[in-house]
Structures are given as structure tokens and as C-alpha cells.
Chain A
Amino acid sequence: MDNALILRFTKSYPGGSTIEADLQLDTRRSSVTVLFGPSGSGKTTVLRCLAGLERPEKGVIRYGDEAWFDAEHGIALPPQRRRIGYLFQEYALFPHLQVDENIGYGLGRESKRKRNSRVAELMELFRLQGLENRYPRQLSGGQRQRVALARAVAPTPRLLLLDEPLSALDNVARGHLRAELRQLLLKVGVPALVVTHDRIEAITLGDQLAVVIDGRIEQFGPTQAVFDHPANRAVAQAVGVDTVLPAEIVGTDDGLVVVQTGSIRLYAVDTGESAASSVHLCIRAEEVMLERHVPEGTSARNHLRGRITSIHPEGPVMRVRLDCGIPLTAVVTRRAHDELNLRENEWVTATIKANSVHLVS
């Protein structure tokens, strides 16, 4: 492959953990690849080695016919010469520079006229007009993210690296910006590698998914394929604990979207993420509440009667699986488990707020 990105390297830490990366990406198409895995699995290290911010001990990193790193031949290109764009976790905007100066920072070698027109072009693409003279501290979380992305994209990098791009945002903003981020990445047209530990983010953002567990890439493939057919138990545990179900949008009701999966209908908040009628609905186990009886006078929109199929203790919490016509997983505290006196085969009501039902195309 002409523009393949090949990484095959080992990096170990004094603490004893070792990162072994082995991945080959076709960067001719502008696709988004997600490095997904639990916190501390080594995803960020892979990204930092790619950027040249850390140096592996062994192996190679090649981009096309260009060697970025080659331990045997003593090659280690500094970050300045790799032409990559890096989006840091908290965005790392330069606090003493205004928005336009931040975006233009990487264009130092261009003429002033070229620099200004490139900055103006990006300000428009990222909907930042009018914010030219603001300082980063005067921006909202979403605006900061767009400035950071515009800044990374400005010097026309060959590859974009994004480290937990949404983790610095609050919950509400995160929901809105997930879909927007994907649109922006596609618009920019630069192949991107995104690190996240969030399943919903992985599903929304990625065309391809690489699952990283304990420093190794355990599975790599199209996102849906990895979620549907985890290669092994570790991957299944990483991707498969929450509820992910195919569903159809069947209507709207008072601003809410009604989705049907199997015989069950659920309300979801329309975040405009999916125009298509066939979607996947994702529910985090943490956002499912369990009650003995059908509650009266609650703000939550979705109540499902279901039978408990299994209860597994997981540290301070219990993972409860239900059959409500659809399989559903809930996580409750041990105390709640005791107070509700939950047992297998008993009937309970699962309550899910409409904005906890995430729709993903």
C-alpha cells in the first residue's frame, strides 16, 4: 500500500507494563479509526509514539515509504517532521494567544497573507467566526474543541491523532458534539486515529475499531463487526457489557423520538445524530434504574417490566441482566440490591430516562 501507516513496536515502562502495537491502516481513504479500550490499556501511549512524543524500544513506524521510527536503523523523526495533527485531551490551547493566533500557530513558515486566508477558511469551516479575538479561557468547552481541531488541521497534516476528544466536556455537551465531531472529521478529509474509552463514542465516531487491552491490540476491524463478533472474551467484556440493539425509528412524540426494537417501544431524545430510520440504540448499564413496582409520578419516560436472568457482583456494584422482551443490563449498588431484595427469576421494572437511550446510526 502506498500510504499505509504501519506500526509494529514495543514500549515498556519501568512499572512492568508493556505496550505491543501491531496495526496497519490504509490512509488513502479519509476514514476514522478508533483505538478503544479501558483506561490504562495503553491507547494514549500508542498515539504518543505515533506522534514522536515517546520513543518505543523496538520496532518500526512507517508512513508510506517514509520511516518515522526504526529502532534497528536508529531512526526517530521528531514530532515537528512527521506532519501530524494532535488533539490533546484537554485541548492544550495556548492561553496567551487569541483564537486566530492559536489556529495560525502552526503556519509560521507561510506568508502573512496565506496564513490569514487559511485561518479565515478554518474559522468558517469550524463555525468560529466572531471569536477571532477571544482568549481560550473565554470559550465554551465545545468552542475550545473546535479551535483545537482547527489548529491541528491548519498546517494540513497527513494524519490526525485525537486523544479522548470529548472527555473534557460535560455530559450534555458530549452528546451533541459526538455526532458533530464525526461530521467535522469527514469534512476535514484527513484520516484520523481517535483514542477513547467510551463505547458510545467508539460506535459514533469510528469506521474501524481497534480494541486495545493490556497494551495489545486484540481485535481490529469495521466497528459494527467488532461489536457484533468480539474475537475473544476480553474483547467481549470491553465492548459487550452494555445494551446495543438494532432498532427502527417509528415516529416522534412531543419532541421525543419513538424507537422500536423487537416488540418494545422506547422514547429517546432526538440529538439529530441519525437521519436514517434504522439505528442502533445503546443504553449504558449505569443509566438503567431498577424498581420493584411500576413507579408513579416519575420524570423518566421508559418503564419496562422484566424478569431477572442473572446477577453478578462486580466490586462495589452488582450487574443485573434482565429479560424485558429485549435483553437489558443494569448496574446497581450492593445496598440497592439488598434493599430491593433482588433475586433471579423475579420481576422488576427497569426505568430509563429518554436521554439515556442513545441512538447511533
Chain B
Amino acid sequence: MDWEAMWLSARLSFWTMVILLFLGTPIAYWLTFSKRRWKFLVEAIVALPLVLPPTVLGFYVLMSIGPRSPVGHLYGELTGGLLPFSFQGVLIASILYSLPFTVQPFSSAFASVDRRLIEASWCLGASRISTFRRLIVPLSAPGILTGMVLSFAHTLGEFGVVLMVGGNLPGETRTVSISIYDEVQSLNYEAAGQTALLLLLVSFLVLAVTYSLQKRVLAVWTTH
């Protein structure tokens, strides 16, 4: 069992989830409430990782964070380090890769808040930001939870993007799925099987807990 890889994947998934919570919220809000005509273009871009092969996404991320790219150059100036084949580089790739898994549940949750409740809040003097905080967020709690869990679970299981951007450095970029692939390549089926089973159980548990929470605890506000 590759505990180091397990721990790395957990950290990667956690930070992806946290950053996506703050990045995905304004994007989802804008996509839900903006009246711009070119909104669909942004929607399509956000959804791209759903259909692109991970290798394609990984390739472009790798190109755009390299030391000669503006992003990579700036990162080098600031930290003296390199983004490709590092944890931070893989984190950036994971955030992009899981973006639709956060934004879509968020924005469908925001959209399902009754328009009249929002208008009632405005008429009571609450600003748009205050309305979002006091009304839309609590009523969207199930959707927000879903988006967070999906981004976590999705990152836990990602393979192609990590391989392209991060390679296979133990403790730095060698995630669970890469570890499993590695074990299989070296015909070490027993170790691969153990790690795979653990990943299966963890993923199932996370999703099962989420869905049961949604049904029993969070649904109380939204039904009726």
C-alpha cells in the first residue's frame, strides 16, 4: 500500500476543493445571474474539461506554466521554483480539470432559488452581496456541498492530467492513481489491488455520506 501517494492525493483533493469553492462561486454566480449575450461562451469554456481528453488539457497546462510562459516566469520570479512536475503545477491543472464539477452544481443550485425570494430580499433593502450571503448560499447548501464533494472525488481519481503535468515524483506528484498504474506496470498486482480497493471504498463512502446528508438534513429547507 502506497501511503505516501494516498496522503498526497488527499492533500491535492483538499486544496483543489478549497480553491474551487472560492473560485467557482463567483463564476457560478455570474453564469447564473448575468444577462450578457456572450455568457454561453464562458459556459462552454468552463465545461471544456468534461469533454477534452485529459492529455490535451494536460498538454496545454504544461505549455502555459512552463518557465518560458508568462505564468511560469512570474512564478519563478516570485518563488524561485518551477511549476511543471511540482505539486503546485498539478494543483493548477486539477483546479482547471475539476472546474465544471464545481461550477455546474453551484450554478444550478443558485438558479433553483426562487426568484421571488431574491426580489423580496432586495425590497427589504438587502444589497446583492448581502442577499447572496443571507439567502442564496443557505438555500443552495445542498448544491454547494455536491460541487465540493464532486471536485474532491474527481481530483482523487484523476490520472491523465497529473501524468502530463506532474510526472511521477514520489511525495510531490505521484498520486494514488499513478501509483496504481506504476504497480501494474511492474506486475505488482497485489499492491495495486490494495490501493485500488482503498480508493474505491473512500470514493464510495464520500459520495454515500454526501447523498444521505442531502436527503435528510439539507433538503428540509428546500422542499416546501
Instruction: Report A's interface with B, CB cutoff 8 A.
Output: 51-53, 78-80, 83-86, 88-90, 92, 94-96, 105-106, 108-109, 137, 151-152, 154-155
Contacts and interface: CB of A to CB of B under 8 A. Distances in A.
Interface stretch (B80-88, B131-139, B169-177, B191-199): B131-139
Given A92-B114, A94-B117, A79 B221 contact: no
B116 interface: yes
Contacts of B121: 94, 105
Contacts of A86: 119-120, 123
Interface in B165-204: none
29 contacts: A51-B119, A51-B123, A53-B123, A78-B122, A79-B123, A80-B123, A80-B125, A83-B125, A86-B120, A89-B116, A90-B116, A92-B114, A92-B116, A92-B120, A94-B121, A95-B117, A95-B139, A95-B221, A95-B222, A96-B138, A96-B139, A105-B124, A105-B126, A105-B134, A106-B126, A109-B125, A151-B124, A152-B123, A152-B124
Query: What does DSSP make chain A's interface, helix, strand, loop or mixed?
Result: loop
Contacts of A154: 124
Interface string B102-125: 000000000000101101111111
B123 A108 contact: no
Interface of B: 114, 116-117, 119-127, 130, 134-135, 138-139, 221-222, 224
Which of B116, B117, B120, B122 has the largest count of A CB atoms less than 10 A from its CB?
A: B120
Contacts of A109: 125
B145 to A, nearest CB: 15
Contacts of A151: 124
A154 B125 CA distance: 11
A217 to B, nearest CB: 23
B116 A88 contact: yes
A84 B119 CA distance: 12
A245 B134 CA distance: 51
Nearest 7 CB-CB pairs, A to B? A106-B124, A86-B123, A92-B120, A92-B116, A79-B122, A96-B221, A137-B224
Nearest to A104: B124
Contacts of A85: 123
A96 B221 CA distance: 5
A82 to B, nearest CB: 8
A80 B122 contact: yes
Most-contacted residue by chain B among A86, A152, A154 (CB, 10 A): A86
A110 to B, nearest CB: 11
Contacts of B221: 95-96
Nearest to B123: A86
Contacts of A83: 125
Contact of B125 (A88, A106, A137): A106
